[in-house]
Amino acid sequence: MEHLFFATGKSGGPVHRLDPRVKIICTVAYIICVVLTAPSAFSQFALFLTVILTAALLSRIPPGYVLKRSLVIFPFVLLVVAFVPFLKKGEVVGSYGGLWVVWNVLVKSWLSVLAMILLGSTTDFQMLLKGLECLHFPKLFLMTIAFMYRYIFIIVNEAMRMERAHRSRYFGGQLLRQVRIIGNMVGLLFIRAYERGERVYQSMCARGFDGEIRTLSQLKFKRWDMVYISLFLAAITLIKIV
């Protein structure tokens, strides 16, 4: 069965080869800098956009691809933002101050998402986890994310199979009854996932799991990592200072 999860840019550009820690640090630093920019500083936003597009070019990911994927967030942000102009106290609906807030939220979330997309499409999920681990991200969270990534395929497959079995015996009928059946399916899926969790835990215990998570870290900083992180951080600091 086919899924469209987690498409990663397979072309191994120079950004792909970077230590994931470098990319994580750069992304977080970038987002913090963007968030801390005044809404009226248009030139700074333009420069931030240039930085991310340069990085995208460097990674040989078509900027168009990054831009297109970033559009995904607009419905969400717009939904949040749409009400802001009406909520500002003591101002006329659709007024100048309210629009500033809209602009502020929109541009910052868009730039941040661009950075996240770049990170996501140049880093294997495994490497991302490894990087977070080396940065001392809490292991319990990491393990939860790793399990989520590992089992989402299986749970989606299970859901697809159930849906198929349902469809093959579905000849139309009352809407209300269908809704109930779908509700049952969701419940069943939950129970199956829960039971799967039990069995996975058993198989972990069978191999000596005692609650402590042990891993081998194998990341090494290379010169290119140093160069990239220095340039990147210098670029965004310059934008902030100048």
Partner 1 sequence: MDKAIEIRNLSYSYPDGSAVFEGINLKINEGERVGIIGPNGAGKTTLLLHLNGILRGKDEVKIFGLGLNNGNLHEIRKRVGLVFQDPDDQLFSPTVFDDVAFGPLNMELSKDEVNNRVKEALEEVGMSGFEKRFSHALSAGEKKRIAIATVLSMNPDILAIDEPTSNLDPGMRKNLIALLGGFQTTLIIASHDLNMVEQLCTRVILLNRGRIIAEGIASEMLENKKLMQENGL
- Candidates 114, 111, 200, 121; CA nearest to 155 is 200
Binds partner 1 (CB under 8 A): choice among 76, 190, 209, 221 = 209
Nearer to partner 1, 77 or 146 (CB): 146
Does residue 167 interact with partner 1 by CB under 8 A? no
Among 199, 220, 241, 242, binds partner 1 (CB under 8 A): 199
Q: How far is the C-alpha of 145 from the C-alpha of 50, rounded, in Å?
A: 32
- Contact present, 51 and 239 (Cβ < 8 Å): yes
**Contact indicator for 114, 52 with CB cutoff of 8 Å:** yes
222 binds partner 1 (CB under 8 A): no
How many other C-beta atoms can be found within 10 angstroms of the C-beta atom of residue 193? 14
Q: Does 208 sit near partner 1 (CB under 8 A)?
A: yes
> Do 30 and 178 form a contact (C-beta atoms < 8 A)?
no
215 is a contact residue toward partner 1 (CB under 8 A): yes
Question: CB–CB of 8/124 below 8 Å?
Answer: yes
Smallest distance from partner 1 to CB 203, Å: 5
The verdict on 233 binding partner 1 (CB under 8 A) reads no
Site string (127-166) toward partner 1, x via CB under 8 A: --x----------------xx-xxx-xx------------
Helix (H, G, I), strand (E, B) or coil at 73: helix
Taking the complex as a whole, how short is the minimal distance between the CB of residue 230 and partner 1, in angstroms?
A: 29
Candidates 17-25, 182-190, 213-221, 227-235: pick the segment binding partner 1 (CB under 8 A). 213-221
Q: Does 210 bind partner 1 (CB under 8 A)?
A: yes
CB of 137 to partner 1, least distance (A): 15
d(CA 219, CA 10): 20
185 to 61, 78, 174, 177, 198: CA distances (angstroms): 40, 33, 17, 12, 20
203 binds partner 1 (CB under 8 A): yes
Binding site for partner 1 (CB under 8 A): 125-126, 129, 146-147, 149-151, 153-154, 196, 199-200, 202-210, 214-216
